[in-house]
Amino acid sequence: MIPDPRIQLGKAVRQKRLSMGLSQETLAERAGLHWTYIGGIERGERNVSLINIVRIARALELTPARLLAGIQ
């Protein structure tokens, strides 16, 4: 069974956010998104658009490729 990529992305975002000591609110502000949207991503509830993947990656000081690395 292939893991859900939405859950994998959510885990990657949460792990990096926590390693940077950021709250969901701070990450959302940096990315120009709403904090509830970030929460939905981290729970694997959102199918994130490319533009928002880029925004989140930049806010986490990553390239989009690095953020998506390992997602099957």
What does the pLDDT look like over 9-58, one tens digit per residue? Answer: 999 999 999 999 999 999 999 999 999 999 999 999 999 999 999 999 99
- Note down the domain range covering 58: 5-68
Helix (H) / strand (E) containing 14 = helix 5-19
CATH code (residue 23): 1.10.260.40
What end-to-end distance do the CA atoms of the chain give, in Å? 11
Question: pTM of the predicted model, to two decimals?
Answer: 0.95
pLDDT band at 71 (very low <50, low <70, confident <90, very high): very high
Q: Residue 25 and residue 4: Cα distance in Å, rounded? A: 25
pLDDT of residue 28: 98
pLDDT band at 69 (very low <50, low <70, confident <90, very high): very high
Q: Is the pLDDT at 62 greater than 90, yes or no?
A: yes
Number of domains in the chain: 1
- 16, 38 contact by CB (below 8 A): no
Opening angle at CA 19, ends 16 and 62, nearest 5: 40
